[in-house]
Each structure stands twice: as structure tokens, then as C-alpha cells.
């Protein structure tokens, strides 16, 4: 049973990255400028010291982090520790002066994005956020993307010492995504995800007439990287076992609205499985032809029609969370146009 949202993110701008992530750092501190003493918040209890340092020493090679651990330059409660040491809430971590690679100033979430995400928060209880991610926003920065959902949320919740993605959505996919605000929640929900106990359901518009009786697609998937660097996924006998359940929701002339539940969680799984049965998703620039996408543009479709419509899981205390994300208006209008024929 879903409990109501408890809080909304503060409107004040974020402090420094260090004050956001470490309870003992002040806003004027800057890792790399001198010896730092950091207090480990309860939310990070159980994290390995090497991963803790990696998240705070951006630009420092992992080999360098292991070196300062081996040499005893990093101390926890004034004692030496090994890289596999798991932190406890309240631990005092001494970080030595270390040169951090020069980086461009971190991207800051603009007021428009902040307002969009504040309005998109569907659930905020028990250390779990559910966000209705807009299409076009990557879930994290990297590969030419300076700012993603998780970076923006960390700026919006400057007093939350822990903020991590539970799972991912493709950049062009909209809808419900889980974000943990406590390490215990992250580990618990991810264990449910691995065990197939976490519920996820998508709405997708497939091109053509979905085959009657085609409710289960089991086809192994293999990731490939093209010379251009583009990532593609293909059905391949040597790929990883992959299963998706499909249910027809509504039929149109030349298209079918389907609900898709991925049993496994492979990259582009729903998109490739839909293509595999001969009904690629509308607006999919990777797996549908230009001709197909052009036809759907006539109905006003300007993006991939794939939406994470529902997510469900339990919290560590047993509370059941079941959240639905409404279909964006730009996709609803496409369905309305298809109904008119």
C-alpha cells in the first residue's frame, strides 16, 4: 500500500559537492587542498572505504586510491585500514592532501529542470524516491552528458548524504524510476530486482499488428558496440537469456499499444524484443526504420514511445510500495490521434 509523500526537496541552491556528500565537510572545504576529516553518516554504513574515497576524489585514479590506503595515509578512527574495510556510521576518515585532476566546473541544474523534477516526484518515504523521469534526460552524467537525473537530485537534496539510482532507464524512455536515499534501501531493493521480485511495467506503442497470442518473448540478447561508438543490442544465441511479457492494451490501424514487463533486465530489452517479433517501437531511432518513424510523426510523435508506467517493491521494514506514473501528455495526444484514424 503506497503511503503519501512526506516531503519535497528544498528550494535553496546546493552547497558544495563535499558538503552534500559528507556530513563533516563544511561548505568551504575542498578535497585535495589539505588534510580532510570526514564523518561517515549512518546512510553510508557498510560501504567499502575504497568506494567511499572514489566517490569523493573525482579525477583521482583508482590505483592512486589503493596506494594511499596501502601506505596508511588514509586513516579511519586514527587507525590504518585495508581497501575492503566496510565503514560504520560515525567513523572518522582522514583523507590526505591529494592532487585532484583539473575538471571543468560541475554542471548545475537550472531552475526549469529543478521545477520539472520537483513536480515529477511521485513518492518520497522510507529512504526511497520514485521520480517520473522526463524523456530526454539521462539518468546520470557521462559520455558527453554533463548533468543527469541523479546529479540534479543530489543538488536538490543537499542535506541527503546518500542518493543512488536503484535501476536505470534509457535516456529516451520516460516514467517511474527508483532512487535510494539510504544504502540499506538500495541494497534491499536491488536484491529484489535480482530475484525478480520487483515489479516493473511499461507502456509501449508497437508498429504494426502485434501477433495474437504473443504474450512471452524469450530471446537471448547480446550487446555490441559499433565503430562509431554507438551501442546496439541484437538477438544472438550467444547472448544473455532474456524474457519479456507482453499484453495487448489497445489496437489501432497500423499500431498496437502494449504493456511490457521485463522478467530480466537487459539493455534495450523491450525495444529489441518488440523488433524481434516484427513490431519495433514507434519513434525508436535505433531499432525502427525511418519509414516507420516518419509515419508516426504524422500523428505527432516526436520521441520513443516507451514509458515506465509502474514500479513496485518493498522497503526493508516490509512496507509495500506500488507507484504509477501517468503517461505524458505528448504520448496521450498520439494515442488520441490514432483513435481518430
Which pLDDT value is given to residue 9?
61
Which pLDDT value is given to residue 221?
97
pLDDT higher than threshold 80 for residue 210 = yes
Beta bridge partners of 243: 218
Res. 101 pLDDT band, cuts 50 70 90: low
State how far the Cα of 50 lies from the Cα of 86, in Å rounded to an integer. Answer: 9
Which pLDDT value is given to residue 270?
98
Res. 15 pLDDT band, cuts 50 70 90: very low
Query: What average pLDDT is seen over the chain?
Result: 87
**pLDDT tens digits, one per residue of 41-94:** 887 888 899 988 987 887 688 888 999 999 999 999 999 999 999 999 899 999
State how far the Cα of 281 lies from the Cα of 295, in Å rounded to an integer. Answer: 12
**pLDDT tens digits, one per residue of 233-251:** 999 999 999 999 999 999 9
Per DSSP, which regions of the chain are E strands? Answer: 36-39, 75-76, 79-80, 92-95, 121-125, 128-133, 164-165, 174-180, 199-207, 216-218, 221-225, 231-235, 243-252, 255-262, 306-314, 320-324
Which pLDDT value is given to residue 234?
96
Which pLDDT value is given to residue 14?
44
Positions marked active-site = 170
pLDDT higher than threshold 80 for residue 2 = no
Res. 313 pLDDT band, cuts 50 70 90: very high
Which pLDDT value is given to residue 10?
53
Query: How many other C-beta atoms are found inside a 10 Å radius of the C-beta of residue 330?
Result: 14
Query: How many other C-beta atoms are found inside a 10 Å radius of the C-beta of residue 338?
Result: 21
Res. 133 pLDDT band, cuts 50 70 90: very high
Which pLDDT value is given to residue 106?
66
**pLDDT tens digits, one per residue of 259-273:** 999 999 999 999 999
Amino acid at each position: 500500500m503506497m503511503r503519501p509523500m512526506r516531503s519535497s526537496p528544498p528550494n535553496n541552491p546546493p552547497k558544495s559537492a563535499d558538503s552534500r556528500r559528507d556530513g563533516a565537510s563544511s561548505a568551504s572545504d575542498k578535497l585535495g587542498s589539505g588534510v580532510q576529516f570526514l564523518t561517515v553518516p549512518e546512510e553510508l554504513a557498510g560501504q567499502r572505504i575504497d568506494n567511499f574515497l572514489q566517490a569523493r576524489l573525482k579525477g583521482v585514479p583508482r590505483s592512486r586510491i589503493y596506494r594511499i590506503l596501502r601506505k596508511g595515509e588514509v586513516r579511519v578512527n586514527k587507525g590504518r585500514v585495508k581497501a575492503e574495510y566496510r565503514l560504520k556510521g560515525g567513523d572518522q576518515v582522514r583523507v590526505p592532501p591529494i592532487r585532484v585532476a583539473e575538471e571543468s566546473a560541475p554542471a548545475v541544474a537550472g531552475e526549469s529542470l529543478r521545477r520539472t523534477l520537483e513536480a515529477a516526484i511521485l513518492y518520497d518515504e522510507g529512504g526511497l524516491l520514485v521520480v517520473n523521469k522526463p524523456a530526454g534526460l539521462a539518468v546520470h552524467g557521462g559520455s558527453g552528458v554533463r548533468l543527469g537525473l541523479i546529479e540534479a537530485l543530489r543538488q536538490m537534496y543537499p542535506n541527503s548524504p546518500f542518493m543512488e539510482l536503484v535501476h536505470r532507464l534509457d535516456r529516451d524512455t520516460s516514467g517511474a524510476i527508483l532512487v535510494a536515499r539510504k544504502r540499506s534501501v538500495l541494497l534491499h531493493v536491488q536484491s529484489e530486482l535480482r530475484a525478480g521480485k520487483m515489479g516493473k511495467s511499461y507502456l509501449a506503442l508497437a508498429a504494426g499488428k502485434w501477433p495474437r497470442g504473443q504474450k512471452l518473448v524469450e530471446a537471448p540478447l547480446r550487446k555490441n558496440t559499433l565503430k562509431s561508438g554507438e551501442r546496439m543490442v541484437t538477438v544472438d544465441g550467444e547472448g544473455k537469456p532474456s524474457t519479456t511479457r507482453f499484453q495487448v492494451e489497445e489496437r489501432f490501424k497500423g499500431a498496437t499499444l502494449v504493456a511490457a514487463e521485463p522478467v530480466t533486465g537487459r539493455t534495450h530489452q523491450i525495444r529489441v524484443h518488440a523488433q524481434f517479433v516484427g513490431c519495433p517501437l514507434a519513434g525508436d531511432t535505433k531499432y525502427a526504420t525511418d519509414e516507420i518513424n516518419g509515419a508516426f510523426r504524422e500523428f505527432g510523435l516526436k520521441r520513443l514511445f516507451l514509458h515506465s508506467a509502474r514500479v513496485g517493491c518493498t522497503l526493508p521494514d516490509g512496507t509495500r510500495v506500488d507507484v504509477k506514473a501517468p503517461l505524458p501528455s505528448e504520448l496521450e495526444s498520439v494515442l488520441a490521434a490514432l483513435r481518430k484514424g
